[in-house]
């Protein structure tokens, strides 16, 4: 059966892609953020995942406001990027694993998550930047991906509880997939930030810390926040944390935080990188 090795949460701000393209990783402004990935590189080299299931939000490359599914899953052989603006170079493509995508889709619909199925899907910086951070350099990425897009853009948004349950359903689906695969779960976006309006530039370190603390040990506690509450505490775009909730939900075993890096600001965003271990629960003895 497929095995979930752990979860990674990371910010996906477009300016990170520009910093990579310009080789600014050791620049004094960028070093505190990029150095947070030194641990990640060692962990991934040891764990060697075969697949990454990536919870993210699309910013208008594949879906726009005219048609915006709440949950959408890729079931393609390949996921291309295109020119998104932002000055970002077009990224290399990511390989897909449609057999696993369809298995997850079957299980999600069985769990009454009516997802949009995408056999052709572009992925934007919310997928490609985390991939480039995890596996830097020009070589092809060493994993196949299953991209799962959550609407964090056009209200009404799904609740934190709904995204946690979505992740749990995805986790159960992965663990019932009959293949010897090691699977990494990724959640991208956040943390606190607001791009426009009177609160443009808003960051809330205290609330980010609370979210990261609860994420590992008690994610259900965060479901007390409505989307409006969450926007108030984390900013209009801070709701990208929904992707982190889904990532955490997919960790079905004993979860422990192995690594955390939190740095303010990257662009106008509180940047965070977290690695969570997922250890299998002990098997119950037959009575």
- Point out the residue whose Cβ comes nearest to Fe ion: 189
Find out whether 184 and 49 touch, Cβ atoms under 8 Å. Answer: yes
Q: Which helix (H) or strand (E) element contains residue 35? A: none
Find out whether 115 and 109 touch, Cβ atoms under 8 Å. Answer: yes
- Which residue in 12, 59, 103, 193 is the catalytic one? 193
Identity of the residue, 96 or 189, whose beta carbon is nearer to Fe ion in the bound complex: 189
Identity of the residue, 43 or 244, whose beta carbon is nearer to Fe ion in the bound complex: 244
59 catalytic residue (yes or no): no
C-alpha 259/C-alpha 191 separation (Å) is 16
- Which residue in 12, 125, 259, 263 is the catalytic one? 125
| Minimum separation from the CB atom of position 258 to Fe ion (A) | 25
From 39-47, 181-189, 246-254, 276-284, span contacting Fe ion (CB under 5 A): 181-189
Kindly list the strands in the beta sheet with 254-266, ordered across the sheet, starting from the edge strand earlier in the chain: 116-118, 71-74, 144-150, 51-56, 182-188, 3-10, 269-279, 254-266
Find out whether 133 and 43 touch, Cβ atoms under 8 Å. Answer: no
259 catalytic residue (yes or no): no
Task: State the binding string over 136-175 for Fe ion (x if CB under 5 A, else -).
Answer: ----------------------------------------
Task: State the binding string over 186-205 for Fe ion (x if CB under 5 A, else -).
Answer: ---x----------------
Identity of the residue, 256 or 267, whose beta carbon is nearer to Fe ion in the bound complex: 267
The two structure tokens encoding residue 147: 């991209």
| Minimum separation from the CB atom of position 269 to Fe ion (A) | 9
Identity of the residue, 15 or 169, whose beta carbon is nearer to Fe ion in the bound complex: 15
Write the CB contacts of 86 (distance below 8 Å, at least 6 apart in sequence).
14, 15, 17, 18, 125
Per-residue buried b or exposed e for 245-275, using 16+ beta carbons within 10 Å of the residue's own CB: bbbbbbbbbebeebbbbbbbebebbbbbbbb
Size of the site for Fe ion (CB under 5 A): 1
Task: Please report, for residues 111, 125, 126, 162, 216, the alpha-carbon distance to residue 220 in angstroms, rounded to integers and kept in the order given.
Answer: 19, 29, 25, 11, 10
Find out whether 58 and 126 touch, Cβ atoms under 8 Å. Answer: yes
R_g of the chain computed on alpha carbons? 18
Show contacts with Fe ion in window 1-60 (CB under 5 A): none
From 91-99, 154-162, 182-190, 228-236, span contacting Fe ion (CB under 5 A): 182-190
Identity of the residue, 52 or 153, whose beta carbon is nearer to Fe ion in the bound complex: 153
Q: Closest Cα to residue 278, out of 2, 1, 4?
A: 4
From 97-105, 171-179, 183-191, 205-213, span contacting Fe ion (CB under 5 A): 183-191
Identity of the residue, 61 or 183, whose beta carbon is nearer to Fe ion in the bound complex: 61
Binding site for Fe ion (CB under 5 A): 189
**Which residues are known to be catalytic?**
125, 193
């Amino acid at each position: 059966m497929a095995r979930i090795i752990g979860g990674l949460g990371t910010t996906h701000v477009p300016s990170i892609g520009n910093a990579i393209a310009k080789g600014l990783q050791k620049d004094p402004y960028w070093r505190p953020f990029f150095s947070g990935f030194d641990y990640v590189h060692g962990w991934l080299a040891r764990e060697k995942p075969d697949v990454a299931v990536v919870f993210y939000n699309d910013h208008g490359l594949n879906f726009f406001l005219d048609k915006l599914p709440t949950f959408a899953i890729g079931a393609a052989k390949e996921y291309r990027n295109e020119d998104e603006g932002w000055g970002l170079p077009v990224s290399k493509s990511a390989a897909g694993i449609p057999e696993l995508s369809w298995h997850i889709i079957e299980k999600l619909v069985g769990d009454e998550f009516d997802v949009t199925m995408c056999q052709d899907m572009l992925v934007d910086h919310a997928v490609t930047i985390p991939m480039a951070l995890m596996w830097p350099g020009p070589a092809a990425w060493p994993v196949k991906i299953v991209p799962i897009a959550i609407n964090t853009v056009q209200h009404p948004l799904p609740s934190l509880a709904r995204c946690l349950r979505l992740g749990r359903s995805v986790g159960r689906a992965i663990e019932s997939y009959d293949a010897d695969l090691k699977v990494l779960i990724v959640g991208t976006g956040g943390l606190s930030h607001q791009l426009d309006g009177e609160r443009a530039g808003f960051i809330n370190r205290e609330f980010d810390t609370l979210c990261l603390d609860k994420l590992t040990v008690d994610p259900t506690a965060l479901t007390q926040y409505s989307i409006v509450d969450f926007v108030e505490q984390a900013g209009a775009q801070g709701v990208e944390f929904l992707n982190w909730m889904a990532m955490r939900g997919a960790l079905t075993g004993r979860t422990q935080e192995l690594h955390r890096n939190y740095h303010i600001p990257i662009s106008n965003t509180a940047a965070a990188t977290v690695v969570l271990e997922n250890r299998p629960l002990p098997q119950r003895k037959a009575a």
